[in-house]
Amino acid sequence: MSSFISLGVNVDHVATVRQARRTTEPDPVIAAALAEQGGADGITFHLREDRRHIQDRDVELFMQTVRVSTNFELACADEVLSICCRLKPDWALLVPESREEVTTEGGLDVASDQGRVRDAVKRIADAGIQTSLFLDPDPRQIDAAAKLGVDAVELHTGPYAIATRDQAASELERLRSVGKQITEYGMRLHAGHGLTYANVRPVAAIDGMRELNIGHSIVSRAVMVGMKEAVAEMRRLLDSASLLNLNK
């Protein structure tokens, strides 16, 4: 199995700074171009229904300018689904959304879904776009995702990221064992949320890991050292974790 892990850089947080003043800077489209220069393999952007950070203009421009993979994160809601299907990114990443949350708080509940996720997956597949579902590391959710025939599952690493040192080992074990279930079903294994320069390597070293989506930590570092350098630093960490995998 290839040990190369794609680094998806989520640029929502650049747009959050811009929207704090409702102005034109910093521009997430320029940030995406710099992230590419730093070694990003993909650009992730979440067009939320409340448009709190990424705007419609941004997604149009990402689609015209990004040369690496485009990963359009969205809720199972008609309006944003229509935009996604029209723009045809490489990937659509379905997530739950609630107005009160500061950021995406948990995975989709596909196991008890009444058809909303299934309908969204069908619309996306019919548009020729690859589908990924953001899920908690729960075997029931993975079984349900496999039944829907999605291309990838992005495991929610938030609980691992906020775990105490004692809990982190068991959270990592959950990610490993559910990761194995995902690859055995033939789906691609992705992960993200709360990953930082300090905690990313054990997740990158999980067997079968194909892609990590990272936003807040990279954008925070970019404020200090610039986007290109911040992405290059993360790229080096992922490469060194892949080497751990090669040596297994």
**Site of interaction with ligand PXP (CB under 6 A):** 10, 12, 46, 73, 93, 95, 103-104, 134, 154, 192-195, 213-217
Indicate the residue among 73 and 171 with the shorter CB distance to ligand PXP: 73
Indicate the residue among 29 and 155 with the shorter CB distance to ligand PXP: 155
CA 207 and chain centroid, separation: 18
Q: 156 in helix, strand or coil?
A: strand
Which amino acid is it at 115?
G
Q: Output the six-digit token pair for 227.
A: 């986007």
CA-based radius of gyration for the chain? 17
In the complex, least distance from residue 247 CB atom to ligand PXP, rounded to whole angstroms: 27
In the complex, least distance from residue 213 CB atom to ligand PXP, rounded to whole angstroms: 4
The span from the CA of 248 to the CA of 239, in Å, is 15
Tell me which DSSP letter residue 131 carries. E
Query: Does residue 156 carry a catalytic annotation?
Result: no
- Which of 36, 156, 193, 211 is catalytic? The answer is 193
Q: 116 in helix, strand or coil?
A: helix
The answer to whether 81 and 123 are in contact (CB under 8 A) is yes
Indicate the residue among 33 and 219 with the shorter CB distance to ligand PXP: 219
Q: Which residue is nearest to ligand PXP (CB)?
A: 215
Positions at the binding site for 1-deoxy-D-xylulose 5-phosphate: 12-13, 48, 53, 103
Active site residues: 46, 73, 193
